[in-house]
Amino acid sequence: MTRLPRPTTSARATHRLAAVAAAALLATGLAACGSDDEGASRSSSGGSSSAPASPSTETTPSETAPSETASDETSASVSTSAAPSGDGQVVSAEGISFEVPASYLAADAEQVLSGTDTSVTDDLAERLGVTPEQLRQQFSSIALFAIDQDAQPGAFADNVNLISSTGASLPTEDQARQQIEQLGFSVESIDPATTPAGDGFVVRYQGNLRGLDISGRGLVVDVDGTVHNITISAGDATTADALLDQVTSTLQPDAGAAG
């Protein structure tokens, strides 16, 4: 994995707002419902996990102004099976794989928690403005995290994360809406989603965190009895939708995880 270049001291200071915003969105995944399997390796069991503790980080988003956007009645389904564009990297965890942009710094829980590659942990922790130990604590809840390394100072750092829950059922649309709204975001639509790996739905929502606008996409699918929640957080709706298309069109069971 490519090592993230170390920013200068001044760049780290100006970039911290983006890092804090990304950290606060690490685990805003929708909770799967009805899981009785406490052995799930990376399960979401309470709506969302808190962001890594940091002196300048608050896990509750600031108030968002309600927006008049697409209603449930006018929602359009998400169904893609097109080949990837070739500008992505394949990431995998919890028995599934999908693409994220090639420029993203990606790490999975095994990498971070095992301590076998401290460069990945150190780079990602610095990008998020937390300590390596705080990052490891966060990865006890999430399975995979990928972040844009090219985010401009002061801008939101677009990111993708995965939370999986074995033996659970998909949340209902009402439950999904409630979970997102409890985080301070405004739900725009909840649409059916079809992926090469399985079916589910996607929640589109908007919000604001410390003055930064955030467009979120929560893709929830059931793959062979495991509910996977892939949360996409971006600084604008166009980027969020592009990331959603990339993830949705390439999501599939990970052949390397069989057995």
Task: Specify the residue for token string 């028995």.
Answer: 95
For residue 21, give the nearest of 136, 156, 148, 142 by alpha carbon. Answer: 156
What pLDDT was estimated at residue 71?
Answer: 30
What pLDDT was estimated at residue 182?
Answer: 84
| CB environment 63-79: b (16+ within 10 A), e (fewer) | ebeeeeeeeeeebeebe
What pLDDT was estimated at residue 104?
Answer: 92
What pLDDT was estimated at residue 183?
Answer: 82
The kind and range of the H/E element at 165 are: strand 159-166
What pLDDT was estimated at residue 139?
Answer: 76
User: Mean pLDDT, consecutive 10-residue segments, the chain of 259 residues?
Assistant: 39 34 44 45 35 27 27 34 60 94 88 77 79 80 86 82 87 89 90 93 90 90 92 94 96 74
- pTM for this model (two decimals): 0.69
Q: Would you tell me how many other CB atoms lie within 10 Å of the CB of residue 83?
A: 7
Q: With 0-12 CB in 10 A as exposed, 13-18 as middle and 19+ as buried, what is 226?
A: buried
What pLDDT was estimated at residue 209?
Answer: 80
Asked if 250 and 102 count as a contact pair (C-beta separation under 8 A), the reply is: no
What pLDDT was estimated at residue 135?
Answer: 80
What pLDDT was estimated at residue 45?
Answer: 30
What pLDDT was estimated at residue 150?
Answer: 84
Q: Which two tokens stand for residue 234?
A: 């971006």
Tell me the per-residue pLDDT of 44-93, one tens digit each, with 9 for 90 and over: 333 333 232 222 222 222 222 222 223 333 333 333 333 334 589 999 99
Domains of the chain: residue spans and CATH: 9-52+61-257 (3.40.1000.10)
> In angstroms, rounded to a whole number, what is the distance separating the alpha carbons of residues 162 and 204?
16
By 3-state DSSP, what share of the chain in percent is helix, strand and coil, each rounded to 5? Answer: 25, 30, 45
